[in-house]
Amino acid sequence: MKRVALLGAATTCAAALGLCGSEPLVRDAHAGPSTFSFVQVVEKEWTLTPSRPSVRAGSVSIELVNFGMDNHNLVVKSTKPGAKPVTFNQLDPRGRGERTLKLTPGRYQLWCSIAGHRAKGMHATLLVTK
Amino acid sequence: MACCDEHSRSDLLRQSLAEAGRGLPAIEAGMPVPAGTGLDRRAFLARGIGLALAIYGGSALRPQVFDEGIAAAAAANPNQKVLVSVFLDGGADALSLLAPTGDPLYRQLRPRLGLADGAGTAFTEDPTLMWHPALTPLAELHGEGKVSVMPAIGYDHPNQSHFTSRHFWEVGAADERLATGWLGRYLDRVGSRDNPLQGLSLDWSLQPSLATAKMPVATLDAPDRYDFWARGVWGEVSDRMIDAIARLGALPTHGDPGLEAASDAAAQSAQLYDQLTPFRPKGDRKAIVSPVAYPQGNEPFPRRLAGLAAMLSAGLPLRVVALSAPGGYDTHDNQAQDLADGLELTAASLLAFQRDLEARGLADRVLVHVWTEFGRRAKENGSGGTDHGAAGTGFLIGSRSAGTMVGEFPGLGKLDGDGNLRATADFRGLYAALLEGWLGTDADAIIPGARKFARPTILR
Amino acid sequence: MATIPRYSGPFRVAEAERLLWRAGFGPRRGQAASLARLGLDGAVRSLTHPAAERWLGPPPRDEKGRPLAPGDAWGHDHLWWLDRMVRTSRPLVERMTLVWHDWFATSDAGVGSQKLMLVQNRLLRRYALGNFHHLLVSITANPAMLIWLSGTDNRKDAPNENYGRELMELFTLGEGDGYTERDVREQARSLTGWTSTWKRGKGQTDFRFDPRRHDAGTKTVFGKRGTFSWRDSASLCAHHPRHPSFFVEKLWSYFIPEPPDANTRAGLEALYRADLEVRPVLEAILRHPAFYTGPRMVKPPVVYIAGLLRGLNRGIDTSAWVWLAEGAGQRLFNPPNVAGWDDSRWLDTNSFRGRWSIANQALEKVTLGDRKGKKTSKVPNDPEAIVAGALAVLGNPTIRPATRNELLTFARGALQSASGWKADAYPPLVANAVRQLLAVSPDLQTC
């Protein structure tokens, strides 16, 4: 028996309150349509899954979805030496967050930096291609 | 790698919704004269002692049928008792709301999360319990005899799914298939066909406990935000447009149920808009003036309660109201902080609401029921939180509340097989007592198998 | 075989409009008139045997002009499907896909992968007008469904009844009709064996049947004994004697609000029972007198939105449609529960306001006198012309005379009070208001 009617009501409410998402999807003054890509990262205990293994270099909308029962965040960092990490705000369960990053070609590490979460498996790699 | 931008979706959605509802400012640049002037055609008319009813006056533009229904409902029983249901979403931790600091097993089960002795107000009815520090406002009301506490309320064979357990509480039965809410069935029995305000969800969508089979109910975010704005329409044209919605909704439907549903929605929406006119901000006028200070901030809860008190004060014929408390109570981790944040705003808002009702002379008419779908596991988990449990905490707040415990605290030595608190009161018995004692109706007709449940003493 | 009644009344624009709304997403401009010219049979056939798909109108974009990324961005899944509803030349296929989405209601709130939801959506579309038995077998093994109703948790040593129960209760037989709790348990055993693998960076993948997880023992289902598999489980339901009546009644309810009479029901069941094909049953429903002469139905929110855009000749150009649809109670790929949306509860005071916002958004691009520094064409100070103009903007829908009168009364009243500067300023305001009122009128909320 799966009855999520009540969750449905709750998430609708949460969405209306902005916890589930909103428009516009991205706010980005720099990129035109041609260089733009999207990737969605779904997190739960204890997985972190990007919607695609690779994206094209340029402006990339990275959307974090907390599909779990705990709070999670996301750190995106190039594997190049000296690269600075970008950290997304921590999200409550069912929360969503989005950041638009300018990504150059290369390999990027994605992980949840809440204590212990990365070690439990919440990390992945994103390839940025030319 | 450079970050271009970051924003919070919630802010954007709030903004979008606000814009969708609030519309343009009353005065638009470039207009020869201020728009929106001379429109005070709706007024408060006093009807009976202490009753001020927002009704339509001054023009014959729109049908009166619903307003008359509202007026009749309000005039028939100006002292109608009101029940407000406040939901703590996620399963609030009973062992933190009222911490059994005097129970020898407490420190063992809660080595990290246990509240320190003396951190909160002592619970006078049971020396083993202590109020969570964030619930000090409720402790204050309890000291005045205005809070009945249910330290372990639930049902037998507890279900640990949020959705199923919440559903049971909402429909008033351990029945996964029941589609109407317990308050909805109350309205189906005693409500009126022309008063949607009788069952009010102060929310974006219908609170399932208010789902009726036939009677109209209303859903709105907040009384000061229910508006109909259209691009390129302003001033008196806008006002006439609202009247036209009502007239379109009043056209004959010749018994066509589809047309009737669409017409009712239009008529009830226009009617609700009318009823809420005094609460809509206009020019410099503040929409809702409260005699007490409510907590400030972005959370809608205190704003909704302030609006609710104002609506009751205006004599609007409300019977049952449902809304959700701020905060997330599904505290699998980071419980100490998350729980305190939610409880603090919830309790401060509820205290302000009670003081507001007292200042307005309405406190004898309103009872607030605070509930959650279950409590949490007695033993804390390894992530600074707790998992889903069984019996939870409930409160009945109001000047007429008995102010005494409903069911005792069962003690941590008698947990159930899953390590959860056992219920010492059944929510269906509480519902039956509320229906019979407070709302004055036959509980057997509303709560399936109501006879089986003992009615606790809840009123003074 | 019982003869199924056929509608023999006139098939005019109004009848064609109803057909286009219920079997699709409303008419594009002039489409109702051209469909009416085909006559009832021709019109129904054009929907049930559509030509190769064509896309009408501009491709979808978000408000920044970017193409949609339905698998990779929040809400783009919803926009992507809404766009198909607006632009397709095969509206019944799209509408039936929506029917199956509601029938086999799966929510991304439980699946957690827009990509898998899109895979399921393709499956539902493939069988839109096809064979129910084949659809049932396919959906039973569909990854999103396997996640949603615990199919991959259902294994020999720990059977999970979730899918087995809903398979009978919601998908094929109806609650408690023709099965017992024992059948639920035995079906769960038959359905054991599905699994998937979690791969870093890919999520749940490689959904497959693993014989080691399957309970190969003998089961008794509906009184029959056998070493049933998941395929048998679906087939037993599809060939259950009670299934045709459940199927006919449920399918009918999507198109006609009042249940079929006994004779019609018997005829439709016989038609369906032959080989479990959907199309012939659908054709009979779309030609039935009750379709054209019975009461109106409230349009589901996404049908309302898609129809407004079709009537206005507007494509998807903003992601506002995601939260607007949600505000009215229907976010695609997110039905409230496994029983789907509740068609009897679309409208309340808040969802009416949600539809008001939808209409307002739909009319955004044609607002009169609203653009700063931009001269718009003069609106005549003439109620009749304003109402006629509003009807034209919305694709000339058929409305009740009483509704038209109310709009006229409103326009007249608002214009009457307009003297002095208002004589010039008010007509566009009144025209905007009439369009908005028309769009939210009971006539346009229903079909």
**A4, A15, A125: residue with CB nearest C337:** A4
Which pLDDT tens digit goes with each residue over C15-61?
A: 999 999 999 999 999 999 999 999 999 999 999 999 999 999 999 99
Question: CA dist A79 to A43, A99, A105, A128, B310, Å?
Answer: 21, 19, 11, 11, 58
Strands B98-99 and A36-44, bridge-based pairing: unpaired
User: Given CB atoms, is B162 within the 8 Å cutoff of chain A?
Assistant: yes
pLDDT tens, B362-410? 999 999 999 999 999 999 988 788 988 999 999 999 999 999 999 999 9
pLDDT at B42 over 50: no
Token pair, residue C13, equals: 């624009």
**Mean pLDDT taken over chain C:** 95
pLDDT at B74 (0 to 100): 63
Provide the shortest C-alpha distance from residue A15 to chain B (in Å). 8
* Contact C318/B at CB under 8 A: no
Q: What's the angle, vertex CA C428, arms to CA C422 and CA C434, rounded to 5?
A: 115
Burial of C114 (0-12, 13-18, 19+ CB in 10 A): buried
Residue numbers of chain C with a pLDDT score lower than 50: 373
pLDDT of residue B13: 33
* Mean pLDDT for all residues in chain B: 83
Kindly tell me if the per-residue pLDDT of B6 is higher than 90: no
Taking CA–CA distances from C161, the nearest residue in chain A reads A1
pLDDT recorded at residue B37: 20
Q: Is C401 on the interface with A (CB under 8 A)?
A: no
pTM as predicted:
0.80
Say if residues B166 and B388 touch (Cβ distance below 8 Å): no
What residues are paired with A102 via a beta bridge? Answer: A59, B2
Q: Give the residue-averaged pLDDT of A31-38.
A: 65
pLDDT score for B70: 55
pLDDT value of residue B340: 94
CB neighbours of residue C110 within 10 Å: 18
For B172-193, the pLDDT digits (tens) are 999 877 889 999 999 999 998 8
Q: Mutate one of C61, C63, C64, C204 to test the A interface: name it (highest A CB count within 10 A).
A: C64
For chain B, what percent of residues have pLDDT higher than 70? 83
Residue in B10, B203, B330 nearest the CB of A22:
B10
Residues of chain A with a CB closer than 8 angstroms to some CB in chain C? 1-5, 7-9, 11-12, 15-16, 21-26, 28, 33, 36-40, 42, 44, 47, 49-53, 61, 63, 65, 67, 96, 98, 121, 123-125
**With 60 as the cut, is the pLDDT of residue B96 above it?**
yes
Residue C376: per-residue pLDDT: 57
For the segment B334-348, the average pLDDT, to the nearest whole number, is 93
Please choose, from the candidates B252, B266, B277, B268, the residue with its C-alpha nearest in 3D space to the C-alpha of residue B69.
B268
Which of A1, A13, A73 to mutate against chain B (most B CBs within 10 Å)?
A13
pLDDT of residue A3: 31
**More confident position, B388 or B201:** B201
CB nearest to C74's CB, from A7, A21, A125: A21
pLDDT tens per residue across span B275-323: 888 788 777 777 788 999 999 988 899 999 999 999 999 888 999 999 9
Q: Residue B72: pLDDT above 80? A: no
Which residue of C348, C403, C429 is in closest CB contact with B265? C348
